Each structure stands twice: as structure tokens, then as C-alpha cells.
Amino acid sequence: MLTKLAMTGFKHRWRDYLVLFSGLIMSSAIFYMFEALATNQTFLKQNTSISMVGIIFQFGSVLLTIITLVYIGYANSFLLSMRKRDYGLFMLVGARKGKIGQLIWLETLLVGITATIIGILVGLLLTAGISQLLIASLGLTLHHLSAWYFPAAVTTLLLYLGLFLLAGLFNLITLTKTPALKLLHSNDQPNRPQLKPIRQLIEVIIGLISIGVGYWSMAHLGDLQLAGIGIALVTIVVGTYLLFNAVFVWLVILLKRLPFAQRGLNGFTLSQLGFRIRNYTKILSIVAMLFALALGAITTGMGFHRQAPLMAAASNGYDMGLVNATTAEKQQVAKLHPTRQATYHFKVGKKAIYYQATDFNQQPFTTVESHGKDQLTFKSQSNNAQQFRKSTASYQLAQLQGSANQQLPAILVSAKTFAQLPQASKQLLVFATKDVTAQLPTLKQLARQQQQRDAGLKAENLGGRYGYYQLLNGMYSGLEFMGFFLGVAFLAMLASCLMFKILSGAAADRQRYQMLNKIGTRSAQQNQALAKEIGILFALPGIVGVVHVLFGLQMFKFLMVGSPYVGIWLPFVIFAVLYLSYYLITVHIYRRIVLH
């Protein structure tokens, strides 16, 4: 009988359960996505040269586990708040507490396990889809990447099963120890914020010091190594929570005392925030950390993606060299609209390659010379025969030769001397395009044709900008993929956390907005108040997250050739658009639940 009553309550509040269920599915899906990389040691070792990447991912797993723990705590409290009144009524009509405790424990476990299994399947699909999208769009080269990774699924299932077992036990104890009347009115007891100046001042000071220590450790990661990551993980998480816990309460109370609170429905909005202030401080801290992780990961991924073509451009004056190019290959080169192109006649001796000097006088060979700490700034130099003989960058011509000739020195001789050499004359066609990455399909085809004629010409010794770009792309592909993949995963987790927390309180807020409607408040004012309330909850972690990212990028200074802050505006703009989209979606859903 009690089971039937419980199912009736479930059907009555299916919309709330849908919010709960979808949130838990997304949480377990994102955790699986992260663990699919973190537990795959072969993938991590094969796709990055950073020796401590596995330990870095272990730190990430610890942080994500903490976030998951808080998230499931919220989900469980939401489930408990929905069922307290129902089970309180069951107690009033004579149901035994033991039976009710058993029901809530089974319900918690059933919801958790079902959501986790579905979440792992969703995570599998997301991992496969996002991986293929990133590999195709970024032109990445990855090894041993698997969307389905059994250890990741086991880790996810065990963690969530353990957490839901504890949550079910907590619910059982809470319901059986709480009087029936208190259960009936549990959702009507507000958590009013109280200003405790001394305590909150101490929290602000400790929070600022903790975050400062975390920022310092990230800036000196080259010296601190793994200890720096551990210090930053602990201090920034603790500092963020303390600042939100102290400043947010103080800010709401301060604003309510200002004339600002008397305008329109500002007082109502502030009261709405104050009603659940303590619960929001935890979720806002989590969202701020996820915001920083997502934005930082995407920014870093874009940094590595941008770095490869810049380094390739500074490596040689030409994209590629073709030995004895066919008519078809020359036509392919012409379609690329090269910015520079030259053809040099040469003969191969036993100890050197002999070039005709008149070719260099008619078509000066362009060399590049890098300067500056970042090695990305360079100047081009056009060299005639005399200048080329004196140039320290003459090796760049050898890079464009075939595999057997790359180690031989270049000697420029007169046309008469060149004609007297007994070896067969060959031609070297060199060319440069405006952007290597924009011409990759054609360049790849030309390289393949060259390798068919020259068996010793492997990918690793293919000279020119294209060859160097391919080499760098192989080195950075793993880091690029991890950055973008984890950025998308953390962004989804961020949206899931914040949307779930806000929407979980929508049913209770419906009554308050109905009261506003009854006293004659215009719909436009209600919409404005609702948008402001949710806007504040989105803006606060966003601001803190941006600050974390700006300092956190210091970690990658020793990994990147250039500054990690170059071009930072692009990921910030992309992320702002996505974050704004989440805000608008949340406002729309919240409005439909509360106002309609």
C-alpha cells in the first residue's frame, strides 16, 4: 500500500523528478567523460610529452569527485525535500517509521543507480561524438583514444553507487528521527541570513590569503612542480568558498538597506536570494571553479592549436619542396596561389649538392630568422647567390630536398661549372602559401606523391612549413584535444549544476510569484525580477571564474612557446556567448514553471 502511495506521489511531481533525473544523468555522464581520459594511461602517455600528465589528471579527478559529492548532496536534499511532506503524511496515518525509512532508502538507491547507468551510456555517446567532432574540425592526430573504456565506467559506477548508498542511509536516519509535524512543515522554514561581522571578516581574510597562495603556486609551477598543483587545488577551492560564504551574505544584507531595494521588485529579488543564501554559497563556489576549469581548458586548447601554425611559419620560408615536380603537381601548386615560388636546378655529388648560382640571382631564396624569447617573431631575408653563401640559414634549403640529400651541404657554382658536372640535372620547386593550415588537403596530397617517388622521405623528415606543422600537430594534438574536450565537459557540468540548483527551487517559488500576481504586480515586473535574480546567480561565479582563469593561465607559461594570453579574447567571447545561452535557457524554463 505504501509503495502505491509513493508511486502516486512520484506521478504527481514527475516534472520535479525529471529535473532531478536529468541533472544526475548529466553529472554521471560528465564524470565518465573525464575518467575516460584520466584512467586511460596509454592514451595520456602516447599523446603528450608531459611526464606528469597522469598525476595532473589524478588531481583533476579529486576535484571533480569533490564537485560530484556536493552535487549529489544537493540532488539528495532536493529529493528529500520533495518527499518529506509525503512521508510525514504517511506517519500521521499510522505508517511505521521503519517501513518509510526502507522506502526512501530504496527510492534514493533506485533513482541514483538508474541515473548513473543511463549517464554512463550518455557519457559514452558524448565522448564518441565530441571526440570525432574535435578530431575532424581541428585535424588532430590521436592514438589509443576509446569512447568506451571499462575502467572509467567501473570508476563512475562505484563512486556514484557509494555516494547514493550513503545518501540513502542519511535519508533513512533523517526521516525516522524527525517528528511527523516537522516533516510536514520542513519546506516552510526559511534559512535567513545573519550578519556576523567578526566571523565574516575572518573568512574574507582567510579566503583572500588562500586564493593568493593558490595564484602564487600556479605562477611558480615550474619550481614547485606537482606540489604547486596540489597547493592550488586546495587553497583556491577553500578560498573561493570562504569568499562566497562571507561576501554574498554581506552583500545581500547591505543591498537590502540601501534605497535601491525600495525600487520596483528589487526588495523581493533580494529576499528571494536571501531565502536560500547558505545553500547558494556552496553551489556558486562549485560553479565558479567549473567556470574557471572550462574556460581555462578551452583557452589552453585554443592556445596550443594556434601555436603550431605560428611556429611552423617561423621555421622556413617555404611550405614544401618538390624534386622533379610533374606537370600535374605544378598545376596543383598553381591552384594554391603561392605567395612565393622558385625553381632551382641542382646536381647531386658524393659530398655536396651543386646549385646553379644564376637561379638564385634571378629568384632569390627566402630564409627566415627567428628572434625574441617566444621564437614566434621572425624576419624574412631574400638571398641572391652571394648572400646565400654567407647566410647562416642556408640549412633551410637542405630541409626542402629529398631524403638522401638533406644532410649534404649546398654549393653554388656558375652556369659554366654546373654544365661541366657529369651528374644528371634535377629541379627543386619550392613554394610558400599564405596559410599552411588553409591548404592542408592539397599539401598532404603533394607530400604523399613525393613519398611515392622517394621511399626514404618519411613524415618526420619532411621539410618546410608543412612538414614542421605536421610534426608539431602530432606533439600538440593530445594537449589540444584534452583542452577542448575537458572544456566542453566542464561547461556542460557547470550548466547542469547551476540550472539544477535554480530549477529545483522553482516549485516553491511559484507560490511567491502567485502572491505577487494577486496583489496586482504586472507581468513585466515579475519577468524583470526573475531575470535579475537568475542573472545575479550566473554573474557572480562568472566574474570569479574569469579572475581564476586569468591567474591560472600562468601554469602554462612553461608549456607554451608564446604567451598563453595571446588571443585570449576569442575563447572568452565564445564562452560568454555559451554562458549567456545557458542563462537565457534557464530563465525561459524557470519562467514557464513559475509564471505559467
Separation of alpha carbons 77 and 576, rounded Å:
31
Tell me the one-letter amino acid at 473. N
Distances (CA, A) of 530 to 257, 343, 515, 583: 21, 69, 14, 12
Question: How close are the terminal C-alpha atoms of the chain, in Å?
Answer: 34
Domain boundaries, the chain: 1-189, 190-303+477-596, 320-462
Residue with cell 571578516: 201
CA atoms within 13 A on the CB side of 69: 8
Write out the three cell numbers for 421: 658536372
Alpha carbons 35 and 155: distance in angstroms, whole number? 8
According to the model, what pLDDT value does residue 476 have?
Answer: 75
Helices 97-138 and 464-504: crossing angle in degrees, nearest 10, is 160
Rg of the chain over CA atoms, in angstroms?
A: 32
> Residue 345: in which H helix or E strand, if any?
strand 340-348
List residues bridging with 411 in a β-sheet. Answer: 354
Rounded Cα distance between 20 and 312, Å, is 49
Block residue for cell numbers 518529506: 84
Determine the Cα–Cα distance for residues 364 and 386; give it in Å rounded to an integer. Answer: 10
Evaluated on CA atoms 28, 34, 35, 36, the torsion sign reads positive
pLDDT tens, N- to C-terminus, the chain (596 residues) = 556 655 665 666 666 677 778 878 888 888 888 888 878 777 777 666 555 566 667 777 777 887 788 778 777 777 777 666 666 666 666 667 677 777 777 778 888 888 899 999 998 998 888 888 777 776 666 667 788 888 889 999 998 898 888 887 877 777 667 665 555 555 555 555 566 778 888 888 999 999 999 888 888 877 777 777 778 878 888 898 888 888 877 777 777 777 777 777 777 777 777 766 666 777 788 888 888 888 888 888 888 778 878 888 888 889 989 999 899 999 999 999 999 999 999 999 888 999 999 999 999 999 988 766 556 677 888 898 898 888 888 888 888 888 778 888 889 999 889 998 989 899 999 999 998 888 888 998 998 888 888 877 776 677 788 988 888 877 777 777 777 887 888 887 777 777 777 777 776 777 777 787 778 778 788 888 888 888 888 888 888 888 888 888 877 776 666 677 777 888 888 888 888 888 888 888 888 877 76
434: which 3 cell numbers? 599564405
Strands 340-348 and 353-356: antiparallel
* Residue 592 confidence (pLDDT): 81
Task: List, in sequence order, every residue forming a beta bridge with 343; answer none if it has no partner.
Answer: 429
For residues 184 and 182, give the distance between their C-alpha atoms in angstroms, rounded to a whole number. 5
Please, what is the angle between helix 506-518 and helix 569-595, to 10°?
A: 60
pLDDT, position 10: 60
Beta bridge partners of 353: 348, 410
State how far the Cα of 179 lies from the Cα of 424, in Å rounded to an integer.
101
